[in-house]
Amino acid sequence: MIARLLAFLLLLLAPFPALAQTVVVHAGRLIADASRPAQGPSTITIVDGRIQSVVAGLTPPPEGARLIDLSTRTVLPGLIDMHVHLAGDPSGEFWREAVDSDEYQAMVGVKNARVTARAGFTTVRDLGSPPLVGFALARGTAENLFPGPRIIASGPAISIVGGHGDVNGFRPEVLEALGVGNTCTGAVQCAERVREMSRAGAQVIKFTATGGVLSQQGRGLEAHFTDEEMRAIVTTAHSLGLKVAAHAHGARGIEAAARAGVDSIEHGTFADAAALRAMRASGTAMVPTLMAFTGIREGLAENRYTPTVAAKVRETLSVVGRAAREARVAGVPVIFGTDAAVFPHGRNAEEFVILVDTVGMSPAEALASATTGAARLLGMDSEIGRIAPGYSADLIAVSGDPLADVRVLQRVEFAMVRGRPIE
Ligand SMILES: [Zn+2]
């Protein structure tokens, strides 16, 4: 009697045990890590969204477990895109800034989150969206409110007044009314802006170290912040445990941002030998976003851009891929990122072809740049980027062998994020 009572009391005290959900994946071939050759048929056991075991051969699932049969497919780690803007779609219509509400852009983001995950990208870094939209999208997919990738969001980029990231091209009173720029002047204010972004929920800090191509700002593509301001942004972010991504095209802006210690240079279009040396010395990665230029070329052909933008577009298109190729040779890590939104979301994997054909990567190297390499740049390499026990169950399946032909990555047939298949 007393024993029964004790058992009953213990039951009351014990936390309600959530029923573990077990999913078993049968893989025909398995690329567990992009740096190692593919393995034969394998069984991956996933418990509550986390990989519990990976064993050779196809073993039957335990009773009550769900079986996902990918025994005619190649299973590999979910892909990571280090540079997207989920809340935007391709457009040259700069007046949209005065028309599209943040709420509308959030809806665009929900739509693109699913498209992106279906395309095999199970983690993305969202490097620029209206104030709270990126953070809301990140929370939305984490809580499974809608299908999408794991999202690491920066919120709006920090820029100089009138720079790439601020609003340009409207008359002053309209600019005043829009007031959406996330700008700063001087080291103190720039440090403050970083702390504000951190408070709002940023998981990474993005700033525009130079001018940008698709904004109406007409001050070119070189450095926009002072060295002192860049240092303030980077040291403040690092002191808060946040990585820093610097948008940069011009060589001197890239060099200054690298010297300030940024973790990645986004685009890096005109990087020269001195800029690449500074990147190497600081351990700064390059995220070349070459698909952005495919999108820009399409936009130019469709006459989508204003004269201010078209001039900058022509300046960049002649050198696309050169800096990434030289960065790779110079020993600077080149990491996968696309700038999706400049081209339609879902076409992210086309970047692999450019990394192989133009930058000179092997298929295995290109795949590593979107898995283990990207995970390292995120500081999440014990969580994502591999299929191994203890890792999040982020995996995809394709027909064919991506280590022989990266084009098969453009036809992802199955995607799972945090153990949840994306429908
Ligand atoms: Zn971008």
For residue 127, report the distance from its CA to the centre of ligand 1, in Å. Answer: 6
Does 6 or 259 have the greater pLDDT score?
259
Q: How confident is the model at residue 168 (pLDDT cuts 50, 70, 90)?
A: confident
pLDDT band at 179 (very low <50, low <70, confident <90, very high): confident
Q: What gap in Å lies between CA 170 and CA 94, rounded to an integer?
A: 9
Q: What's the 59 CA to ligand 1 centre distance in angstroms? A: 44
247 CA to centre of ligand 1 in angstroms: 7
In angstroms, what is the span from residue 111 Cα to ligand 1's centroid?
18
CA–CA separation, 110 and 141 (whole Å): 9
Does position 5 have pLDDT exceeding 70, yes or no? no
How many angstroms does the Cα of residue 344 sit away from the middle of ligand 1? Answer: 13
Task: Report pLDDT digits (tens) over 269-279.
Answer: 999 999 999 99
Percentage, residues of the chain above pLDDT 90: 81
Tell me the CA–centroid distance for residue 134 and ligand 1, in Å.
13
Tokens of 183: 């700008």
Among residues 204, 201, 202, 209, the alpha carbon closest in space to that of 184 is found at 209
- Give the β-pairing of 22-30 and 42-47: antiparallel
What is the token pair recorded at 44? 């991956």
State residue 229's pLDDT score: 98
What's the average model confidence in pLDDT over 221-229? 93
Q: What is the pLDDT of residues 335-345, one digit of tens each?
A: 999 999 999 99
d(CA 82, ligand 1 centre) in Å? 10
Query: Does residue 176 carry a pLDDT above 90?
Result: no
- What is the rounded average pLDDT of the residues 195-215? 95
- Check pLDDT > 60 for residue 15: no
Ligand 1 centre from 245 Cα, in Å? Answer: 10
DSSP three-state, residue 212: coil
Q: Is the pTM of this model over 0.75?
A: yes
Cα of 383 vs centre of ligand 1, distance in Å, is 25
DSSP 336: -
Task: Please check the confidence at residue 13 and state whether its pLDDT lies above 60.
Answer: no
Averaged pLDDT of the chain:
94
Residue 390, pLDDT above cutoff 90: yes
Grade residue 180 by pLDDT with cuts at 50, 70 and 90. Answer: low
> pLDDT (tens digit, 9 = 90+) per residue, 109-167?
999 999 999 999 999 999 999 999 999 999 999 999 999 999 999 999 999 999 998 88
pLDDT at 11: 55
Interior angle at CA 269, CA 265 and CA 274, nearest 5: 75
DSSP string, 237-277: HHHTT-EEEEEE-SHHHHHHHHHTT-SEEEE-TT--HHHHH
The whole-number pLDDT of residue 62 equals 93
Residue 221 confidence class, pLDDT cut points 50, 70, 90: confident
Query: Who wins on pLDDT, 243 or 215?
Result: 243
Instruction: Say how many Å lie between the CA of residue 124 and the centre of ligand 1.
Output: 12
> Which residue is it, tokens 């339609």?
344
| Structure token digits, residue 115 | 């498209």
- The residue-averaged pLDDT of 159-187 equals 89
Centroid of ligand 1 to alpha carbon of 144 (angstroms)? 26
Q: What is the chain's Cα-based Rg?
A: 23
**Which helix or strand (DSSP H or E) is residue 174 part of?**
helix 172-178
**Residue 339 CA to ligand 1 centre (angstroms):** 5
C-alpha 416 to ligand 1 mean position (Å): 26
Q: What is the spatial distance between Cα 25 and Cα 20, in angstroms, rounded to a whole number?
A: 16
pLDDT tens string 278-310: 999 999 999 999 999 999 998 888 888 999 899
Q: Give the pLDDT score at 304.
A: 87
Q: How far, in Å, is the centroid of ligand 1 from the Cα of 278?
A: 22
**Rounded distance between C-alpha atoms, residue 108 and residue 175, angstroms:** 24
- The pLDDT value recorded for residue 183 is 95
Residue 129 and residue 100 in contact, taking contact as beta carbons nearer than 8 Å: no
Q: Which residues of 191-203 are buried (b: 16+ CB within 10 A; e: fewer)?
A: bebbeebbeebbb
| Residue 161 CB-density burial (10 A; 0-12 exposed, 13-18 middle, 19+ buried) | exposed
CA of 12 to the centre of ligand 1 (A): 52
Helix 307-317 / helix 290-301 crossing angle, nearest 10 deg = 130
Cα torsion for 131, 158, 126, 263, to the nearest 10°?
A: -150
Residue 152 CA, ligand 1 centroid: distance in Å: 14
Query: pLDDT for 38-90, tens place per residue?
Result: 999 999 999 999 999 999 999 999 999 999 999 999 999 999 999 999 999 99
Edge-first strand order for the sheet with 79-84 is 79-84, 121-126, 150-153
Among 275, 384, 251, 292, residue whose Cα is nearest residue 332: 275
